């Protein structure tokens, strides 16, 4: 998915890796806050920003704390969605 590795929960992508960049699905309500985090930027995979998704540079998830932050945030969003 997206030309990289994607991780799914309940049939929905919640986080992935594209090259050395993390793709984080934070949802539309968490988008602005996610962009304020260090090393996060708009996910412009298609040439235009994809609201609800951000790219995170390696520095933002190289520590256990950083990786856990993004994993938890993305998983919580996906688990808040209604069942498919």
Distance CA 71, CA 29 (A): 17
The mean pLDDT of the chain is: 92
Q: What is the pLDDT of residues 23-64, one digit of tens each?
A: 999 999 999 999 999 999 999 877 888 889 999 999 999 999
- Structural domain harbouring 28: 5-80
Question: Is 1's pLDDT higher than 80?
Answer: no
Element (H, E) at 70: helix 64-80
Quote the pTM value: 0.90
Number of domains in the chain: 1
Predicted pLDDT of residue 69? 97
Predicted pLDDT of residue 2? 61
């Amino acid at each position: 998915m997206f030309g990289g590795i994607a991780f799914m929960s309940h049939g929905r992508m919640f986080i992935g890796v594209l090259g050395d960049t993390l793709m984080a699905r934070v949802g539309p309500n968490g988008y602005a806050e996610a962009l304020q985090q260090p090393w996060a930027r708009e996910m412009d995979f298609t040439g235009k920003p994809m609201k609800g998704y951000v790219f995170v540079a390696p520095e933002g998830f190289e520590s256990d704390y950083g990786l856990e932050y993004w994993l938890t945030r993305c998983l919580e969003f996906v688990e808040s969605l209604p069942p498919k």
